[in-house]
Amino acid sequence: MLYLGIDLGTTYSLVAHMNDHGQPTLFPDYHNANEFRTPSVVHIGDEGCFVGSALEEMLEDEPELSQARFFKLAMGEPEGVYRDHRQRHWWPQSLSALVLKKILNDVEAFAHDEVAGALITVPANFNDAQRKATREAAQLAGLNRVKLLDEPVAAATFYGYNRKGAEQTLFVYDLGGGTFDATVLQVGDDGLYALATEGSNQHGGMRVDQFIMDFILDEYHRQHGVRPSDETTLMTLRRFAHDTKLTLVKPGKTKVAKTLVLAGKTLDFVLTRDLFHQMIDTFVDETLAVCTRCLKAAGLEWSFIDTILLTGGSSLLPLVPEKISRASGRPKDQLVCRQPHQAVAYGAAILAAQQFTGGGGAKKLQSICAYDLGIRVRGADGQPAVKVLVNKNTPVPAAESTTFYTNRADQARLIIEAVQQRETDQGQEESSLGFFAFTIDNPRAKYPVEIKLAYDLEGCVVITACDPETGRQMQQEMDKDSQAMDRELLEQQSWINGLVINQ
Which pLDDT score, from 0 to 100, does residue 299 have?
96
For 168-172, 225-229, 453-457, 479-483, which range has the lowest pLDDT when averaged over its residues?
A: 479-483
Mean pLDDT of 280-299: 96
Residue 158's alpha-carbon distances to 340, 346, 348, in angstroms, are 10, 6, 8
Which pLDDT score, from 0 to 100, does residue 481 have?
61
State yes or no: pLDDT of 474 exceeds 90: no
Which pLDDT score, from 0 to 100, does residue 293 have?
95
User: Which residues of the chain are in CATH 3.30.420.40 domains?
Assistant: 2-203+289-367+493-497
Q: Which amino acid is at 182?
A: A
Which pLDDT score, from 0 to 100, does residue 407 have?
85
Which pLDDT score, from 0 to 100, does residue 477 have?
67
State yes or no: pLDDT of 482 exceeds 90: no
- How many whole angstroms separate alpha carbon 294 and alpha carbon 326? 17
Which pLDDT score, from 0 to 100, does residue 378 have?
84
Q: Which residue has the higher pLDDT, 96 or 499?
A: 96
For 114-128, 168-182, 259-273, 390-404, which range has the lowest pLDDT when averaged over its residues?
A: 259-273
> 245 near 255, Cβ under 8 Å?
no
Phi, psi angle pair for 236, to nearest 5°: -60, -40
> 4 near 119, Cβ under 8 Å?
yes
DSSP letter, residue 303: G
Which pLDDT score, from 0 to 100, does residue 478 have?
56
> 419 near 432, Cβ under 8 Å?
yes
Q: Dihedral (C-alpha) 310, 314, 318, 319: value to the nearest 10 degrees?
A: -90
How would residue 479 be classed by pLDDT, with cut points 50, 70 and 90?
Answer: low
One-letter-per-residue 3-state SS of 250-302: CCCCCEEEEEEEECCEEEEEEEEHHHHHHHHHHHHHHHHHHHHHHHHHHCCCH
User: Which residues of the chain are in CATH 2.60.34.10 domains?
Assistant: 372-472
> 345 near 14, Cβ under 8 Å?
yes
Q: Dihedral (C-alpha) 127, 133, 139, 144: value to the nearest 10 degrees?
A: 0
For 95-104, 119-128, 322-331, 421-430, which range has the lowest pLDDT when averaged over its residues?
A: 421-430
- Structure confidence by residue, pLDDT tens digits, 99-111: 999 999 999 999 9
Which pLDDT score, from 0 to 100, does residue 361 have?
59
Which pLDDT score, from 0 to 100, does residue 162 have?
66
> 464 near 473, Cβ under 8 Å?
yes
- Structure confidence by residue, pLDDT tens digits, 225-247: 899 888 888 888 998 999 999 99
**What's the CATH code, domain 372-472?**
2.60.34.10
- Structure confidence by residue, pLDDT tens digits, 67-84: 999 999 999 987 889 999
- Structure confidence by residue, pLDDT tens digits, 23-48: 999 999 988 889 999 999 999 998 88
Which pLDDT score, from 0 to 100, does residue 419 have?
96
Strands 265-272 and 255-262: antiparallel
> 450 near 399, Cβ under 8 Å?
no
Tell me the pTM. Answer: 0.93
Which pLDDT score, from 0 to 100, does residue 26 have?
97
- Structure confidence by residue, pLDDT tens digits, 383-440: 888 999 999 999 999 999 999 998 888 888 888 999 999 988 777 889 999 899 888 8
- How many whole angstroms separate alpha carbon 1 and alpha carbon 58? 35
For 160-174, 316-330, 458-472, which range has the lowest pLDDT when averaged over its residues?
A: 160-174
State yes or no: pLDDT of 141 exceeds 90: yes
One-letter-per-residue 3-state SS of 469-501: CCCCECCEECCHHHHHHHHHHHHHHHHHHCCCE
- Structure confidence by residue, pLDDT tens digits, 244-273: 999 998 888 889 999 998 888 898 999 999
Which pLDDT score, from 0 to 100, does residue 380 have?
75
DSSP letter, residue 30: S
Which pLDDT score, from 0 to 100, does residue 89 have?
94
**Average model confidence (pLDDT) for the chain?**
91
State yes or no: pLDDT of 339 exceeds 70: yes
- How many whole angstroms separate alpha carbon 460 and alpha carbon 478? 19
Q: Which residue has the higher pLDDT, 154 or 362?
A: 154
Which pLDDT score, from 0 to 100, does residue 359 have?
59
Bridge partners (DSSP) of residue 148 are 120
Phi, psi angle pair for 254, to nearest 5°: -110, -10
- Residues found in the chain: 503
3-state percent breakdown (helix, strand, coil) of the chain, nearest 5: 35, 35, 35
Question: Which run of H or of E encompasses 452?
Answer: strand 448-455
- Structure confidence by residue, pLDDT tens digits, 371-385: 999 999 987 777 888
Residue 83's alpha-carbon distances to 43, 87, 89, in angstroms, are 10, 5, 5
376 burial via Cβ count (<10 Å: 0-12, 13-18, 19+): middle
Mean pLDDT of 167-173: 94
CA nearest 375: which of 366, 367, 384? 384
How would residue 94 be classed by pLDDT, with cut points 50, 70 and 90?
Answer: very high
Report the CATH fold assignment for 2-203+289-367+493-497: Nucleotidyltransferase; domain 5 (3.30.420)
Residues ≥6 apart with Cβ < 8 Å to 491: none
How would residue 60 be classed by pLDDT, with cut points 50, 70 and 90?
Answer: confident
For 107-116, 301-310, 435-444, which range has the lowest pLDDT when averaged over its residues?
A: 435-444
Percent of the chain with pLDDT over 90: 69
DSSP 353-413: HHHHHS-SS--EEE-B-SSEEEEEEE-TTSSEEEEEEE-TT-BSSEEEEEEEE-SSTT--E
Which pLDDT score, from 0 to 100, does residue 96 have?
98
